[in-house]
Amino acid sequence: MKPFGYLRARSTAEAVRESSAHPGAGFLGGGTNLVDLMKLGVETPDLLIDISRLPLDQVGDTDNGGLRIGATVRNSDLAAHPAVRTRYPVLSQALLSGASGQLRNTATTGGNLLQRTRCPYFQDTSKPCNKREPGTGCPALEGAHRDLAVLGHSEHCVATHPSDMAVALSALDATVQLHGPDGERTVPATEFHRLPGDTPHRDTEIRAGELITEVVLPPRPDGAGSLYRKARDRASFAFALASVAAVLGVRDGRIEHAALAFGGLAHRPWRAYAAEEALRGAPATGETFERAVDAELAAARPLRDNAFKVGLARSLAVDALAELAADS
Amino acid sequence: MDPSRGRDDGAQQPGATGDRSTLTLHINGTEQTLTLDHRTTVLDALREDLGLTGAKKGCDHGQCGACTVIVDGRRANSCLLLAVAHDGARITTVEGLADGDRLHPVQEAFLDRDALQCGYCTPGQICSAVGMLGEAADGFPSHVTTRTAPVSAPAPLDAPEIRERMSGNLCRCGAYPRIVEAIEDVAP
């Protein structure tokens, strides 16, 4: 690991100021991904600005019945929070389906959003990777890409975003609050992560010096239920091959509200707008669910070894919607 | 000892931008003040600087759980914790679980059930189990907790719950059945 300086930020303003003054600096939250990537030589900050003790560790109601989640709230605390379990079960379930008990106790909300892909080429500095070193190429296109993207990828990058939490936040229409050198701004969770295009080194829309301070959930749509389903290579402690976050509201047999997002399929949580369009106003039946999910997955462009993900995602989504409809 | 490691008075306090800082860790109830390279993990500080070799270095990437210790009441992978960021933390390692000559109930259960083969993962398994029992008592749900389970009540621990909650600890000997039995013995 490369030597680095360490600074414990006493305020958000100080953290942002120091980050802007040191272009090689990185923010340290729980460190579960960052420290690992530093050991691998993938991340090489020359200064760590520790933001883990800033007063950003609270979960609280917003004025309109939503929920405000501080950036340093630990994943395990968020998953166990009564408001999350009762009003946003999809978020609790997504968090609990990721990582291990130890990692969830350490990892933060902001850090979960900013974790990097687990593409094996990205994590191996002896290999080319356009995300790690722009312009060097993407060996995953022809190489070990069984776990990688089937939607929204480019000839430059086929990585997937590894977060489960972010998939739930996408389906919940959360917003991400950023504090930067030019002040504060809000980015919808659905637009926070990027598609790779020809700039795969940029995972998100975050700008230099910006710090995530909180994530805000809007009020739960009236009567809507939500859940998270995930398929992986072992029963626990593994990244998603495919996952789905679903929010569904049904009245008198018709779908009033539908939000669907896929994980493990793309460079960002894949909000399924085409499926939602097909769901809204339609009868809450298995036939509707299949037609809607197929409308979304028609855009899939599997690689040589990962076409199985499309069928897997289809089954997860159709089952999730059927379960929510049965509960409503 | 590597001269770049260990106790000395020449380093700057945390908040400095040098390569080293002086920090205090409360390990098993004993205050330890150390001057460490910022790259030092809690695991390396325990093993290399404090001679506490109970926590093991398995994968060193947070994937195996052999390094599990309890930090401020919650289990964590000490291989991923930078010591400098944990200045002031209260850390319990497997060496600190027993009360004098009386083993912790989880340690006793591992002996009673012979819940190990080579033993390399055992300190991490035991610290993880102690932390996990605390989480369940505090009402933390798991991936297999039923959706209708009461919120904020202690989570009941049957074998599927124990397996899910202990999935961050690998045992390459495959002693899992006995590990689950040992934890079931202690679970409320």
Q: What is the pLDDT of residue B148?
A: 84
Predicted TM-score of the model (pTM): 0.96
What is the pLDDT averaged over residues B151-163? 93
Of B37, B38, B77, which has the smallest distance from its Cβ to A102's Cβ? B77
Average pLDDT of chain A, as a whole number: 98
Residue A256 placed within a domain: yes
Residue B101: pLDDT band (50, 70, 90) is very high
Tell me the CATH number at A285: 3.30.390.50
Residues A27-56: tens digit of each pLDDT: 999 999 999 999 999 999 999 999 999 999
Residue B16: pLDDT band (50, 70, 90) is low
**Distance from the B188 Cα atom to the nearest Cα atom in chain A, whole angstroms:** 19
Least confident span in A84-98, B125-139, B151-165: B151-165
Residue A107 placed within a domain: no
Within 6-45 of A, beta carbons closer than 8 Å to B belong to 6-8, 28, 31-32, 35-36, 38-39
Q: What is the pLDDT of residue A222?
A: 86
Q: Is the pLDDT of residue B6 over 80?
A: no
Residue A293 placed within a domain: yes
- pLDDT tens sequence for chain A (328 residues): 999 999 999 999 999 999 999 999 999 999 999 999 999 999 999 999 999 999 999 999 999 999 999 999 999 999 999 999 999 999 999 999 999 999 999 999 999 999 999 999 999 999 999 999 999 999 999 999 999 999 999 999 999 999 999 999 999 999 999 999 999 999 999 999 999 999 999 999 999 999 999 999 999 988 899 999 999 999 999 999 999 999 999 999 999 999 999 999 999 999 999 999 999 999 999 999 999 999 999 999 999 999 999 999 999 999 999 999 999 8
Q: What CA–CA distances, in Å, run from A111 to A12, A129, B62, B130, B174? A: 15, 22, 15, 26, 33
Number of domains in chain A: 1
Q: What is the pLDDT of residue A149?
A: 98
What is the pLDDT averaged over residues B81-104? 98
Pick from B59, B80, B127 the residue to mutate for testing the A interface (most A CBs within 10 Å).
B80
What is the pLDDT averaged over residues B51-79? 98
Residue A247 placed within a domain: yes
Residue A167 placed within a domain: no
Of A1, A31, A106, which has the smallest distance from its Cβ to B39's Cβ? A1
CB atoms within 10 A of CB A144: 12
Q: What is the pLDDT of residue B57?
A: 98
Range of the domain at A256: 225-327
Q: What is the pLDDT of residue B14?
A: 52
Residue A260 placed within a domain: yes
Residue A303 placed within a domain: yes
CB A165 within 8 A of CB A192: no
Residue A252 placed within a domain: yes
Pick from A43, A102, A118, A227 the residue to mutate for testing the B interface (most B CBs within 10 Å).
A102
Of A8, A52, A103, which has the smallest distance from its Cβ to B62's Cβ? A103
Of B39, B65, B139, which has the smallest distance from its Cβ to A100's Cβ? B65
Work out how many CB contacts closer than 8 A connect A with B: 126
Q: Is the pLDDT of residue B8 over 80?
A: no
3-state SS string for chain A: CCCCEEEECCCHHHHHHHHHHCCCEEEECCCCCHHHHHHCCCCCCCEEEECCCCCCCCEEECCCCCEEEECCCEHHHHHHCHHHHHHCHHHHHHHHCCCCHHHHHHCEHHHHHHCCCCCCCCCCCCCCCCCCCCCCCCHHHCCCCCCCCCCCCECCECCCCCCCHHHHHHHCCCEEEEEECCEEEEEEHHHHECCCCCCCCCCECCCCCCEEEEEEECCCCCCCEEEEEEECCCCCCCCCCEEEEEEEEEECCEEEEEEEEEECCCCCCEECHHHHHHHCCCECCHHHHHHHHHHHHCCCCCCCCCCHHHHHHHHHHHHHHHHHHHHC
What is the pLDDT averaged over residues B127-140? 97
Q: What is the pLDDT of residue B17?
A: 66
